[in-house]
Amino acid sequence: MHAKPNRLFSARNLYALGRGRIPGQVIIQMTDRCNAHCPQCEMRVTHRYERSSLDRNAIERVLEAAAERGVVAVSFTGGEPFLHFDTLIAMIRRAGDLGIPLIRTGTSGYFLRHHGKKEFRKRVEEIAESLAHTQVRNFWFSIDSAHGVVHDRIRGFPGVFEGIAKAIPIFHEHGIWPTANLGVNRLLGGAPLRLAHNPSRAQCEEFYETSVEAFARFYRTVIDAGFTIVNFCYPMSIESQPESSLDSVYLASSADDMVNFRREEKALLFRAMSQAVREFRDRIRIFTPRNTLHSLAHHYQYREEHGYACRGGKDFFFISAGDGNTYPCGFRAHENLGKYWDMNGTPRDAEAHCTRCDWECFRDPSNTLGPILELINNPRGLVKRLLRDRTWTRLWWEDLRYQQATDFCNGRLPPDFSRLAKFSLRRGASSNRDRRSQAGVCCSSLR
Ligand code: SF4
Ligand code: SF4
């Protein structure tokens, strides 16, 4: 069945916006099996527990219900979804046939380790061709560090970074422009990022500048490797916040020090990410919206809410491989909503109020689409918000313009750098001055 695509700004979605809803998203964890060793993730192969995978029938029923409800974005994640490659391809096709427009999936690229072997090219071509014959829009490789060897060591796959770089042009030949997905961690720049306890202002500034440079190095590395799209997954360390009452059903989090940043570190890290995005967004398409980074930095810096509540449990849902059930997100394990196809609308208590974690899959679109929802449902509130923090207002507007220039980071289209050029920051001395002044802003009021 080929259904009409459910476009983001269709009459149906505009009607939903008028009823206080934003276009839906479902993250389907196909499996919690994984063959990688990443210490920052509880699904690593060395962590022993009973593993599960969703069967095709269950995934199809989720997709059909999602299409019926007007969901616009579906992600197939893991574990390692490529361990079930045939099912993955079939389900992406099914989602596309049902008219779901934003379909995403990704991998660690474990199958690209042995890139010196004769059959390497043929293997990559087969995978690229299979994906090219689906409606997948974004296909990501998870990359953990600006240094290939550090990345390989974290994953436990020697040679995989080089294999990914070798495979990228083959994907491009097949009309697929992969995304580099960085799970932000202490080793992202190579040497560990760490801020002293009770830091002085000078130590804060040093941590900020080292972090900007680490993100910049990461951008340079993935650009050199051939990537044209990049995304940051914010550090997930919910175990470090027992007061938050979160409990992970999606085990892509860990108490490991590698992703466990303190509040003052996060305040500086989010500002550093924003600065790096600013410096590189004319050279690579960047998913990460600076309006969210601004809100998260503000939240950690001043201990007060900023930006919009997460739509997890309201418009966005997570399907767990463990029991096939639906959860408001991957981190509210105590709120089992049952089978997705049996859910009768949104649960009554699922008002958008949660800001308990920084999961970018849900926080980024909640923040970026929040003003559109508010414009329709509470225009006065929006005007007040826009006037209250003009920096945020400017960043949000810029994010919208930038995403339009990137074709909303469409991984089935090549980049058009002429459209990104207007977002260029003048480099050299001015860029360094810019970094220093940003460091001053965040370190002066960090307490
Ligand atoms: S981060 Fe990804 S690749 Fe690494 S162990 Fe977890 S699921 Fe596997
Ligand atoms: S902020 Fe969103 S992703 Fe995080 S716990 Fe709340 S609903 Fe879940």
Number of domains composing the chain: 1
Q: Which residues contact 13 (CB under 8 A, 6 or more apart)?
A: 6, 7, 23, 70, 72
The closest of 393, 395, 371 to 381, measured between CA atoms, is: 371
Beta-carbon contacts of 132 under 8 Å, excluding residues fewer than 6 positions away, are 174, 175, 176
Give pLDDT, residue 35.
Answer: 97
Q: Is the pLDDT of residue 159 over 60?
A: yes
Q: How far is the CA of 334 from the centre of ligand 2 (A)?
A: 13
pLDDT class of 348 with cuts at 50, 70, 90: very low
Domain annotation covers residue 2: no
Owner of token pair 């060793």: 37
- Nearest CA residue ID for atom 5, ligand 1: 44
Whole-prediction pTM: 0.93
Structure tokens at 318: 């997570």
- If one counts every other C-beta atom within 10 angstroms of the C-beta of residue 335, the result is 17
Share of the chain above pLDDT 70, in %: 89
Quick check: 179 and 288 in contact, CB under 8 A?
A: no
Distances from the Cα of 87 to the Cαs of 60, 72, 76, 84, 99, in angstroms? Answer: 10, 21, 11, 6, 19
Ligand 1 pocket, residue 252 CB under 6 Å: yes
More confident residue, 163 or 11: 163
**Domain-embedded: residue 239:** yes
pLDDT tier at 424, thresholds 50, 70, 90? very high
- DSSP labels, 261-316: --HHHHHHHHHHHHHHHHHHTTTSEE---HHHHHHHHHHHHHSS--S--B-BTTTE
Q: Tell me, what's the pLDDT at 253?
A: 72
Which of helix, strand or coil describes residue 138?
A: strand
pLDDT over threshold 90, residue 184: yes
Residue nearest to atom 6 of ligand 2 (CA): 354
Domain region containing 271: 11-444
Of 195, 204, 205, 187, nearest to 435 by C-alpha is: 205
Let me know if residue 3 belongs to a domain: no
Strand order of the β-sheet with 285-286 is 285-286, 229-233, 179-183, 138-143, 102-107, 73-77, 25-29, 316-319, 326-327
| Amino acid at site 124 | V
Q: Choose which residue among 33, 47, 52, 80 to substitute to test ligand 1 binding: the one with the highest number of ligand atoms within 8 A of its C-beta.
A: 80
Task: Determine the residue of 42, 82, 107, 108 to mutate for testing ligand 1's pocket, defined as the one with the most ligand atoms within 8 A of the Cβ atom.
Answer: 108
Q: Which residue has the higher pLDDT, 243 or 365?
A: 365
Residue 4 forms part of a structural domain? no
Q: Report CA(26)–ligand 2 centroid distance (Å).
A: 14
Across-strand partners of 74? 26, 103
Calculate how far, in angstroms, residue 42's C-alpha sits from the geometric centre of ligand 1: 8
Burial class (CB in 10 A: 0-12, 13-18, 19+), 284: buried
Q: Is residue 371 part of a domain?
A: yes
Instruction: Note whether residue 322 is domain-resident.
Output: yes
Residue 121 lies in a domain: yes
Residue 6, in any domain of the structure: no
CB neighbour class for 386 (10 Å; exposed up to 12, middle 13-18, buried from 19): middle
Residues 6+ apart with CB under 8 A from 366: 22, 308, 309, 310, 311, 312, 316, 352
- HSE at residue 311, side-chain half, CA atoms within 13 A, is 24
Residues 236 and 267 sit within 8 Å (Cβ to Cβ): no
What's the token pair of residue 396? 């949000």
In the predicted model, is pLDDT for residue 279 greater than 60?
yes
Does ligand 2 have an atom closer than 6 angstroms to the CB of 395? no
Distances 210 to 195, 200, 213, 223, 447 between C-alpha atoms, Å: 10, 15, 5, 20, 20
332 lines ligand 2 (CB under 6 A): yes
Any idea what the CATH number is for the domain that residue 365 is in? 3.20.20
Count of C-beta atoms within a 10 Å radius of residue 258: 21
Q: Are 313 and 335 in contact (CB under 8 A)?
A: yes
Q: How many residues does the chain have?
A: 447
Is 354 close to ligand 2, i.e. is its CB under 6 Å away? yes
Ligand 2 centroid distance, CA of 331 (Å): 7
Across 232-246, 312-326, 386-400, least confident range: 232-246
Q: Strand, helix or coil at 228?
A: coil
Ligand nearest to the backbone CA of 251: 1
- Residue 7 clears pLDDT 90, i.e. is over it: no
118: exposed, middle or buried (C-beta count within 10 Å: 0-12, 13-18, 19+)? exposed
pLDDT score at 350: 53
pLDDT digits (tens, 9 = 90+) for 71-111: 999 999 999 999 999 999 999 999 999 999 999 999 999 99
User: 370-381 as b/e, with b when 16 or more CB fall inside 10 Å?
Assistant: bbebbeeeeeee
Mean pLDDT across 304-308: 90
